[in-house]
Amino acid sequence: MALIVHKYGGTSMGSTDRIKNVAKRVAKWHDAGYQIVVVPSAMSGETNRIIGLAKEISAQPDPRELDMIASTGEQVSVGLLAIALQAIGKQAVSYAGWQVAIKTDSAHTKARISSIDDAKVKRDLDAGKIVIITGFQGVDESGDITTLGRGGSDTSAVAVAAALKAKECLIYTDVDGVYTTDPRVVSDARRLNTVTFEEMLEMASLGSKVLQIRSVEFAGNYKMPTRVLSSLTDPLMPLEEEIKSGTLISFEEDTNMEQATITGIAFNRDEAKITVFGVPDRPGIAYQILGPVADANIEVDMIIQNQSVEGKTDFTFTVPRVEYAQAMQVLSNDVQANIKATGIIGDTKVSKVSVVGVGMRSHVGIASQMFRTLSEEGINIQMISTSEIKISVLIDEKYMELAVRALHKAFGLENS
């Protein structure tokens, strides 16, 4: 019997009525003969609310304790969904991550899944039960609860689907697929029927929060067919229609795919820029600056080093905004005096805007069109980075939405 994993996000689980609708949809799939594992998120707003409580008490709460708190939202969701399914006559059982067990490393608040034990779940499925597993959480070697980073339920779902060798992983959310850009920012953004795995990986890593990046990595590593679709449609809509709706992440660039030069525009408001200036320009300096930042488990994104003048240079890079304070602390405590830099300055009011598309490989002039569009809007570019299929710029955050709209139009991505 084919197994399908469903993932429902916060809005989809946002009220008891919505949870009853999820139960109806899941029951419909089960009645059609599929084995079903459901991975829900916490009810919308709940994770923010409980993390907020911890932050009311301490500006920098202990990450282990934060995970203890943050993981509880999902535990409420799985229990409520099991009750909703039982109320309509289905056998259902809920599990927390540690009960399955979903094992992770110990990087609290951004843990990575290392293994998933499928025995218990398979036994329940074979006994005809619908199995509901908390998204977002796991357990480390020492038995402590961990969480997978914000938006991590997507990753739990795809990882569970891979571990159980599911036929497909369906990510139900509050939009009906992946769009050319966030439809909340550009109202005439267009839904894509398919998006290549590579493009989805770039879009997710560049800030399109419709899927957490690690979920896309899992989908790629295990070639797990993954589809993004709406949970806000009629839960009893015909299955054949539902199976084909939304956006499929495709692993092939087939000729039928929408062939545009640019597939989408991504943006990220969560970046911060740090400049270490007056840095002696000598071998090993990049390592001396970024080594301690990496040791603090802070991911560095864009990096530039200027031409040196009289043996001194400036070194600029970006880090996640939530880790900006910690990165500044590491640099002023461990780095500045050590390398004899003149100073460190930072800016948290920056955003990254990126154009993404595999079509870029065979087209020239994309960068110049991007820069021309931004210049016509009077938007200053602070940093640039490129890969084979994307160009990113760092700009003042107050022009972020303007830049996204202008680029969306300039590359002809709107709904016609």
Task: Report angle CA 363, 199, 240 to the nearest 5 degrees.
Answer: 120
Q: Which of 98, 136, 179, 315 binds ligand ADP (CB under 6 A)?
A: 179
Q: How many residues bind ligand ADP (CB under 6 A)?
A: 19
Residue 287 per-residue DSSP state: H
* Least distance in angstroms from the C-beta of 356 to ligand ADP: 10
What residues contact 283, with CB distance under 8 A and at least 6 apart? none
208 scored as a contact of ligand ADP (CB under 6 A): yes
* Least distance in angstroms from the C-beta of 208 to Mg ion: 11
Closest CA to 213 of 222, 224, 221, 205: 205
For β-strands 168-173 and 226-230, DSSP reports them as parallel
Q: Which stretch binds ligand ADP (CB under 6 A): 61-69, 159-167, 172-180, 351-359?
A: 172-180
* Least distance in angstroms from the C-beta of 185 to Mg ion: 16
Tell me the three state secondary structure of residue 92.
strand
Contact 38, 8 (CB under 8 A): yes
* Least distance in angstroms from the C-beta of 206 to ligand ASP: 18
- Nearest residue to ligand ADP, scored by beta-carbon proximity: 9
What angle do helix axes 72-87 and 46-57 make, rounded to 10 degrees?
150
User: Judged by CB, which is closer to ligand ASP: 73, or 357?
Assistant: 73
184 interface partner picked from Mg ion, ligand ADP, ligand ASP, none, CB below 5 to 8 A per type: ligand ADP
136 interface partner picked from ligand ADP, ligand ASP, Mg ion, none, CB below 5 to 8 A per type: ligand ASP
* Least distance in angstroms from the C-beta of 181 to Mg ion: 16
Cα 299 to Cα 108, 293, 410: the distances in Å are: 15, 8, 32
Locate 93 and state its tokens: 């059982």
Window 90-129: contact mask with ligand ADP (x via CB under 6 A) = ----------------------------------------
What is the distance between the alpha carbons of residues 25 and 27, in angstroms, rounded to a whole number?
Answer: 5
112: left (phi over 0), alpha (psi -120 to 50) or beta: beta
What residues contact 48, with CB distance under 8 A and at least 6 apart? none
User: Judged by CB, which is closer to Mg ion: 9, or 207?
Assistant: 9
* Least distance in angstroms from the C-beta of 29 to Mg ion: 21
Q: Which stretch binds Mg ion (CB under 5 A): 9-17, 85-93, 116-124, 246-254?
A: 9-17
What residues contact 344, with CB distance under 8 A and at least 6 apart? 274, 275, 276, 277, 328, 331, 332, 336
Give residue 234's Cα distance to chain centre. 27
Q: Which of 73, 151, 152, 177 binds Mg ion (CB under 5 A)?
A: 151
Q: Which of 209, 285, 304, 328 binds ligand ADP (CB under 6 A)?
A: 209
* Least distance in angstroms from the C-beta of 40 to ligand ASP: 9
In the complex, which residues of this chain contact ligand ASP (CB under 6 A)?
9-10, 41-42, 47, 73, 135-136, 150-154
What residues contact 364, with CB distance under 8 A and at least 6 apart? none
User: Judged by CB, which is closer to ligand ADP: 125, or 207?
Assistant: 207
Locate 86 and state its tokens: 């039982």
- Nearest residue to Mg ion, scored by beta-carbon proximity: 151
218 interface partner picked from ligand ADP, ligand ASP, Mg ion, none, CB below 5 to 8 A per type: none
- Which stretches of the chain bind ligand ADP, using CB under 6 A? 9-12, 41, 151, 173-175, 178-179, 181-184, 208-210, 264
- Binding residues for Mg ion, per CB under 5 A? 9, 151
